[in-house]
Amino acid sequence: MPSVDATRQHVEDIERLIKCRLRSEVHARKAVESAMKRAVLEVRQLKKELMVLRQENEELRAAVETKPNNGGGKESPIELKNDQIQRLTARNKQLESSVLELQQQVAGLEPQSTTTIDQSTALAEKDRDIAALEDELAKIKLVADETKRKCQNMLKEKRDEAQRALHENEQLARCAKTLQSQLALLPQLKKQLELAKEKRADMAGAWQKKLEQRDQEFLREEEASKQKLAESAFQISELTEEKLELQERLNELEVKLRQFESSHKSELSQESQRTGELETSVNQWQERIVANVAEPTEVLARETQEQETQLRLTDDVAGAMEVQDGHDLMQAREAPKALPCSVDRMELSSNNEDDRDP
């Protein structure tokens, strides 16, 4: 543990030194860069001024050369121009001297730029060295953390093993006690096992008998159910045959009913014709009675009474036929629901009606 703390302290000291060195180098680099920027800006400004001055000098020379010397009253402007030229030349000399000074300053700044470049390359190398040291430091940290973790895990495993050993010792002591108690109870357990085996054999025999009885009962019930199913199938076939027979009889009865209705309609039409004829005959008799007033009243009364009785008989016959038709129609509609004996009765009644119709 002390060696780990010492290495950690050493690593922290190295980190602090590296950080201080990096900060100083960064400040120096920033100062050099700012000085270089200022020098470059000054040189550019001086070059611009020099170019403007040269351009003005050329313009003045061109103006002086283009204007001739006329003399007399025009000497004063020429003198003014000469003064301007002298001033401009003096200014040009000053500018040239300033340009020389600037060039000297630029020449003096060039070694500084070379030194800054060298310093920047050295800084880059130092950056690489610092990165390598940082990588080394990270590796050392990882190794230290890994060793620490391994030590902690080993300590934890040792503690867990000691606790497991204590727990196992306690369990072994308890198991030894239980084994001693169980060895004392071993003969009693053997007796109980033999008794349990005997009881199990008896129970197995009883259960075997019960299972055989249940199997026999199940077989008997299965045979009875098969018989019932066969009987029910036979009954279903019989009922279907009866249904078909009843359907055929119903169709025959419907045909007979249609025939009976047609014949009944024809009879009703005949009866209506008869009643019409009787009415016409009654009217004729009345006319005759009116025409032959001199005939005896007894003969007329007897004839009229006979005609009235005939009319009543025809009305009674028509009512009885309507009642019989309604009764036959109801029996025909209830025929599918009735038993075969009722169907036979309806057939007999329909046959009687057919015999009675002619």
pLDDT per position as a tens digit, 268-287: 778 777 777 777 776 777 67
Give 31-64 pLDDT, tens digit per residue.
766 766 776 677 677 677 777 777 877 777 777 6
pLDDT at residue 261, rounded to an integer: 79
Residue 293 Cα distances to 82, 268, 302, 304, angstroms:
190, 36, 15, 15
Q: pLDDT grade, residue 211 (50/70/90)? A: confident
- Give long-range contacts, CB 8 A cutoff, 24+ apart: 154-160: none
pLDDT at 333 (0 to 100): 57
Kindly list the domain boundaries of the chain, sorted by start residue: 2-165, 246-356
Which pLDDT score, from 0 to 100, does residue 348 have? 44
According to the model, what pLDDT value does residue 342 have? 45
In whole angstroms, what is the distance from residue 257 CA to residue 332 CA? Answer: 8
Burial status of residue 311 (CB atoms within 10 A of its CB: 0-12, 13-18, 19 or more): middle
pLDDT band at 151 (very low <50, low <70, confident <90, very high): confident
Q: Are 116 and 28 in contact (CB under 8 A)?
A: no
| Spatial contact of 133 and 18, defined as CB atoms under 8 Å apart | yes
**Packed helices 75-184 and 2-66: angle between N→C axes, nearest 10 degrees:** 160
State how far the Cα of 3 lies from the Cα of 148, in Å rounded to an integer.
11
Give the Cβ contact number of residue 116 at 10 Å: 19
* 293 alpha carbon, distance to own chain's centre: 111
Decide if 246 contacts 336 (C-beta within 8 A): yes
Instruction: Give the pLDDT confidence score for residue 346 in this predicted structure.
Output: 44
The alpha carbon of residue 140 and the mean position of all alpha carbons in its chain are separated, in whole angstroms, by: 54
